[in-house]
Amino acid sequence: MRILILGSGAREHAIVKSLLSEDESHEVFVAPGNAGIARETPVVDIDPLDPVAVADFAVERAVELVVVGPEAPLIAGVADPLRERGIAVFGPGKAAAQLEGSKAFAKRIMDEAGVPTGRAVRAATLAEAEAALDEYGAPYVVKADGLAAGKGVLVTPDRGAALAHATRWLEHGAVLVEEFLDGPEVSLFLLSDGHEVLPLSPAQDYKRLLDGDAGPNTGGMGAYSPLPWLPGTFVDEVVETIALPTVRRLEAEQTPFIGLLYCGLVVTASGVKVIEFNARFGDPETQVVLARLTTPLSRLMLAAATGGLAGLPRPEFASEVAVTVVLASEGYPEKPITGRPLAGLDAAEAVPGVWVDHAATEVGTLPDDGLHGSWTAESLIATGGRVLSVVALGSDFAEARERAYDAIGKIHLEGGQYRTDIAARVAR
């Protein structure tokens, strides 16, 4: 099958690896991709936010399936013109993508579908935000209503910090002030064809920058899968009480959700509740979920894109566990320092059960000043905040963690930072 993937991160690299590992031979293009992806499959210089350019390329190359990785193209509506031209798309149209693009929209859908979630108030002014903070009390939860690249959510016991966060994001639109939900968090991906859903394996990610869940929120610093501490009924409960009601509500509004429904969940004392929805694969959870997937991913995505999930068995996963650790640039998430060389990736991938998904890399020209050791003029450099995801499989979490940290310790990035406690609790 000819497949076009839109995106440039580790999530897209993980999707590429999953597709290329299948027995069936695929021709895979990625736009715009990164240096790691370019080593495995052709990358195309197309702006994922340009629906005309994307559709023209898909038609010219007889692409059979377009997979939209990041949220921005979905919310911009890139899927709609593709569908109008008869191309199968794994990703919701602009209207349904508001499930991620607008926290207020998502709350309305959940309320109308009877989906369990925390109470929330949409505030358009600082006075409204202050009133909501006082109503719900500490810990305070403030969220930007729109996209914020993983930086729009603040949970804090400090009312002043909550007000400052609200003030910042009110400059860009409204904010949501929410009831704090206490309990362990879980990410669950579900494939949707607009009417039916099929769940993948649960994962847990680490949003804070530093060990012990300290520091600012990030796009995600690591993840692991599966979650052995979850009850066996967890996935069924989420399907029946959260995913299906949400998808059916969107269907009733004639805005079918086709693609990947990301459910950000919290297991509270009173049951499973939704923290947030996303309209695409999460990063870095994708890296560990797809690492264990044994059912062909292409078959699942095409079935979702063409209304064919009914009757398909649930996806199957290997018994091995997966851990990923993210390597980030110095200064991330506020002001990452980019353009620095990377070294040691071959040594990292020589560790058994390990591979590296690239997030923000390119081959660039470095000064010939003798400061970069064995690096040549054409060198791999870091171009963003989150640079790499080191993924490791193991028979148990202790083995997977040992492999992941052995591998990331072999990679050199000046000022690079990563957490040392990913999956530590479950390994114990």
Round to whole Å and give the CA distance between 4 and 56. Answer: 12
> Pairing mode, if any, of strands 88-90 and 222-225?
unpaired
Residue where the block lists tokens 């949003």: 207
Round to whole Å and give the CA distance between 387 and 333. Answer: 12
Backbone angles phi, psi at 190, to 5 degrees: -135, 130
Round to whole Å and give the CA distance between 150 and 130. Answer: 23
Q: Set out the domains of the chain in order of their start, with CATH numbers.
A: 2-90 (3.40.50.20), 121-178 (3.30.1490.20), 182-305 (3.30.470.20), 321-427 (3.90.600.10)
- 271 by Cβ neighbours in 10 Å (0-12 / 13-18 / 19+) ranks as exposed
If you ran DSSP here, which 8-state letter would residue 243 be given?
I
Round to whole Å and give the CA distance between 410 and 345. Answer: 7
Round to whole Å and give the CA distance between 144 and 207. Answer: 16
User: Going residue by residue through the chain (428 aa), what tens digit of pLDDT does each one get?
Assistant: 999 999 999 999 999 999 999 999 999 999 999 999 999 999 999 999 999 999 999 999 999 999 999 999 999 999 999 999 999 999 999 999 999 998 889 999 999 999 999 888 888 999 989 998 998 888 898 988 776 555 678 888 989 999 999 998 898 888 888 888 899 999 999 999 999 999 999 999 999 999 999 999 899 999 999 999 999 999 999 999 999 999 999 999 999 999 999 999 999 998 999 999 999 999 999 999 999 999 999 999 999 999 999 989 999 999 999 999 999 999 999 999 999 999 999 999 999 999 999 999 999 765 554 444 343 445 899 999 999 999 999 999 999 999 999 999 999 999 999 999 999 999 98
Structure tokens at 301: 């995505």
Structure tokens at 155: 């949970």
Nearest to 278 by CA among 95, 151, 90, 101: 101
Round to whole Å and give the CA distance between 277 and 352. Answer: 35
Round to whole Å and give the CA distance between 125 and 170. Answer: 7
